[in-house]
């Protein structure tokens, strides 16, 4: 469920910084059978953080079951150019769900694909969200 609230620029900024810092670390990990679950889970979590930050900037909050879906879906609403379509985040979400709820072990190809998604989509999404945050700071 999504509810309207006052924009929270401080929490949004904190989520953005956390996602950016961790993403810089995660994309440089060596893809292996042992690291795959961690890499994919953390990549997904950093996109989810950006989605939550975007919702907070826009004065929206996802509560209850399905929060993660709402956060990722908020990113899918962005109209920005990326080397890969933003919709590819849905495949990352599915793989992460398979890992968390079905004990799935991703292949090296899936891990490399997830890293590719992060390398091609994260920074353009990050920059767009930072622009929205800057506008909010100027308005208030």
Cα–Cα distance, 26 to 49 (Å, whole number): 15
For residues 73-89, give the mean pLDDT: 94
For residues 56-70, give the mean pLDDT: 90
Cα–Cα distance, 123 to 129 (Å, whole number): 10
- pTM for the whole structure: 0.95
Of 93, 19, 17, 94, nearest in space to 49 by CA: 19
Q: What is the mean pLDDT of the chain?
A: 95
For residues 19-41, give the mean pLDDT: 97
State what percent of residues in the chain have pLDDT above 90. Answer: 91
CB crowding 91-129: b at 16 or more within 10 Å, else e? ebbebbeebeeeebebeeebbebbbebbeebbeebbebb
For residues 5-25, give the mean pLDDT: 97
Total Cβ atoms within 10 A of residue 63: 11
Cα–Cα distance, 19 to 112 (Å, whole number): 19
Total Cβ atoms within 10 A of residue 42: 19
């Amino acid at each position: 469920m999504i509810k309207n609230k006052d924009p929270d620029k401080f929490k949004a900024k904190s989520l953005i910084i956390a996602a950016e810092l961790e993403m810089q670390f995660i994309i440089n990990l060596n893809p292996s059978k042992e690291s795959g679950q961690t890499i994919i889970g953390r990549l997904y979590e950093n996109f989810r953080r950006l989605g939550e930050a975007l919702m907070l900037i826009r004065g929206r909050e996802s509560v209850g079951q399905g929060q993660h879906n709402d956060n990722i879906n908020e990113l899918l609403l962005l109209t920005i150019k990326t080397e890969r379509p933003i919709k590819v985040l849905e495949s990352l979400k599915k793989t992460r769900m398979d890992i968390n709820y079905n004990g799935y072990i991703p292949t090296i190809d899936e891990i490399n694909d997830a890293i590719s998604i992060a390398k091609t989509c994260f920074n353009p999404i990050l920059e767009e969200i930072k622009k929205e945050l800057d506008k909010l700071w100027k308005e208030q």
